[in-house]
Chain A
Amino acid sequence: MRRTEIRLSTDERPVLARFPRPARVAGYTVLLAFALLYALPFLVQLATAFKSDPEAASHPLSLLPSDPTAAVFRQLTGSGGSGEGVPFLRWLGNSTLVTVVVTLGRVLFDSAAGYALARLRFRGRAVLVAFVVAVMAVPPVVLLIPKFLVLNTLGIFDTYTGMIVPLLFDAAGIFIMKQFFESIPREVEEAARIDGAGVGRIFWYVVLPMSRPALITVTLLSFQGSWNEFTHFLVATQSSDYETLTTGLARFVSGGLGAGTQYPLKLGAALLSTIPVAVLFFCFQRYFIRGANAGSVKE
């Protein structure tokens, strides 16, 4: 059973008496101000994307553009005005391609490997689990140069293959699936086995359909992870043909492209690149939070 789902409290009664009214008002005010600190950067970003360059410079904080313009978005999408060295559509295309392939691949791999670790008894299983755990423990930043070495040696540096394949191997996802499969009662599979189904059929027709919540969680985490991935693409590619929203934007923002500040353009590009994950987050928030607490499944 899922013990630690963030519940909207089955029992709404407070343990203690409420705070006195003045304290409550003060508390809400402070809390609201604090929430504003978290939301304001995004609001400023949104507003700035619709401002002109001079206005963004002179009124950086105003939330209502005096003369809203969508010029930035026309420029980014290539309709009207030159791209000015910001091949946003190319970045978007690369990000989308890589994210879709990685997400599909991970869901497939993670569930197959997770099932094997959860159910199949084979020699060296414990060693394997320990190995996956050890792999998870290696700090990714330490792997920057090593990853480049492997990609270079295999001859897949600066290719889509080099961008995608290493991301498919995802120890955390394997563990989520393993945990979930272990929570499924064995009787279900026993019944199918007695009816004559093999491991493959049981996995595909019995177990996977029951695993929807875990699959959704892994899908979302994979999507978010590969969409936001930066360091891997940074060391796996070199030419601008393979730039993604993260590597392209990072190079653009840190001064590699174009001149001047162009903040509306930069913030507009950042805004567009945030939207897919933001939409998923607001639609599937339950699963994101569940993902953050997935380990408590059956212990």
Chain B
Amino acid sequence: MSPMVLGLGLFMALPILMAAWVSFLDWDGQSNPFTPDAHFVGLENYRSLLGEDGLARTLLATSLRNNAYYVLLTVPLQTALSLTLAIIVNQRMLRGRSMLRTTFYFPSVTSSIAVCTVFLFLFQGSGAVNQLLGWIGIKGPNWFQDPRGVVWVLLDALGVSDDSHPTGFLADHRLMGLPLGEWLAGPSVAMCTLILLAVWTTSGTFMLIFLAALQNIPRELEEAAALDGAARRHILRHVLLPALRPVMFLVTTLGLIATWQVFDQVYVLGQGDPANTTLTPAYLSYSYGFDNADFGQGAAISFILLGIVLLMTGVQRWLLRERGGRDGRGALRRRLAAAGLPRAGVTEVEEARRAQD
């Protein structure tokens, strides 16, 4: 037992303390940062990221913008899709249910790197996806090379504005060093491929979570509703969806935590390109440390990211507390279901409550 504790401490708890220390240093990864010789710079790393005008702050702002749009689109899409798939696959009269379940779940168990490789091929300029789109008369964009924000692309297409880069007020005013027009641009076309990829790979896992919850709903409930003459959509709305509510919270929490940490996909599909529109805080942190040998700055970014993730779980925890009761049970099930995801740290909300019991 004690080696286990030691190991968890050594590779999980200690690193956080060490990183906290390094985030106050100017350290290039070479010397030993735990000697008095280390170059202590106080809050300088945080100040350059948050406080003063400069490249660091613009990069962080860009990565936050990118990641926020990624989260905003991925989480609702994957939740809605996985719920729909679960309800369909749960139909008792459906033929080939287990085949379908396997098909939808399979992308979740494969390696993110291998799957990214496939997407890289599919979404090339003259690739399979654009060929498919061509069949229905759409000229697909050059996905991975296209930094235009989809908001401006759409406005452009609708003829509202004729330029994919806004001028005037939106270009002149800045927030954290980034023009307002950039904040409002939405995810870039390139980022959209990452969103599609995330939805495609995670919906199977979440489908299984929903499916397990659906099968826990007592059959009598549905039967009683059916006997009372409730239509299918009423059963869905008044029986199934309310019963799934806790699981819905869970899935969105898992989604939020995982999507704020997107890294592998960024590494393979663009490393931030084009024009930094696929840059995410996780990748920026890595890149500062391992590409620029500025580990202090990198560590500071990872703490800012940690703050965001904790804030997200905090909000979810607060929402969950409102519901209370037995809903929080079975936390581990979800933790494990998440195993197919980038290993999100997930269930402390539920587990902490369990530990208190």
Known: A172-B335, A221-B339, A292-B209. 19 other contacts (CB 8 A): A31-B88, A35-B104, A41-B107, A41-B119, A44-B118, A117-B1, A129-B355, A137-B345, A139-B309, A149-B15, A166-B11, A224-B339, A227-B111, A253-B116, A254-B269, A269-B117, A282-B102, A289-B208, A295-B334
- Is B339 touching A172 in the complex (CB atoms < 8 A)? yes
* A295 neighbours in B (Cβ, 8 Å): 330-336
How far does the Cβ of A270 sit from chain B's closest Cβ, in whole Å? 4
- Is B8 touching A132 in the complex (CB atoms < 8 A)? yes
B292 in the interface (beta carbon within 8 A): no
Given A250-B268, A253-B113, A281-B109, residue A136 in contact with residue B351 (CB < 8 A): yes
- Is B337 touching A131 in the complex (CB atoms < 8 A)? no
* B282 neighbours in A (Cβ, 8 Å): 141, 144
- Is B336 touching A42 in the complex (CB atoms < 8 A)? no
- How far, in angstroms, from A273 to B110 measured CA to CA in the complex? 9
* A140 neighbours in B (Cβ, 8 Å): 261, 342-345
Query: A-B contact count, CB below 8 Å?
Result: 325
- Is A277 touching B257 in the complex (CB atoms < 8 A)? no
The interface centre, meaning the residue of A3, A41, A176 with most chain B CB atoms within 10 A of its CB, is A41
The interface centre, meaning the residue of A168, A225, A231, A296 with most chain B CB atoms within 10 A of its CB, is A231
- Is A144 touching B302 in the complex (CB atoms < 8 A)? yes
In this complex, how many residues of chain A approach chain B with their Cβ under 8 Å: the count is 107
- Is B110 touching A174 in the complex (CB atoms < 8 A)? no
How far does the Cβ of B190 sit from chain A's closest Cβ, in whole Å? 14
- Is A60 touching B121 in the complex (CB atoms < 8 A)? yes
Specify the chain A residue showing the minimal Cβ separation from B221.
A15
Given A113-B4, A150-B18, A292-B205, residue A270 in contact with residue B302 (CB < 8 A): no
The listed residue (A11, A42, A277) touching B111 by CB distance below 8 A is A277
- Is A9 touching B92 in the complex (CB atoms < 8 A)? yes
* B295 neighbours in A (Cβ, 8 Å): 145, 148-149
The listed residue (B18, B118, B215) touching A153 by CB distance below 8 A is B18
- Is A4 touching B118 in the complex (CB atoms < 8 A)? no
A7 in the interface (beta carbon within 8 A): yes
B286 in the interface (beta carbon within 8 A): yes
Q: List 29 A-B contacts (CB under 8 A).
A: A8-B97, A11-B219, A35-B103, A35-B104, A44-B128, A60-B131, A112-B1, A129-B355, A136-B345, A136-B346, A136-B351, A141-B285, A141-B342, A142-B302, A143-B302, A144-B286, A145-B19, A153-B34, A168-B7, A169-B8, A175-B332, A230-B264, A253-B113, A277-B109, A278-B109, A292-B209, A292-B340, A293-B212, A294-B332
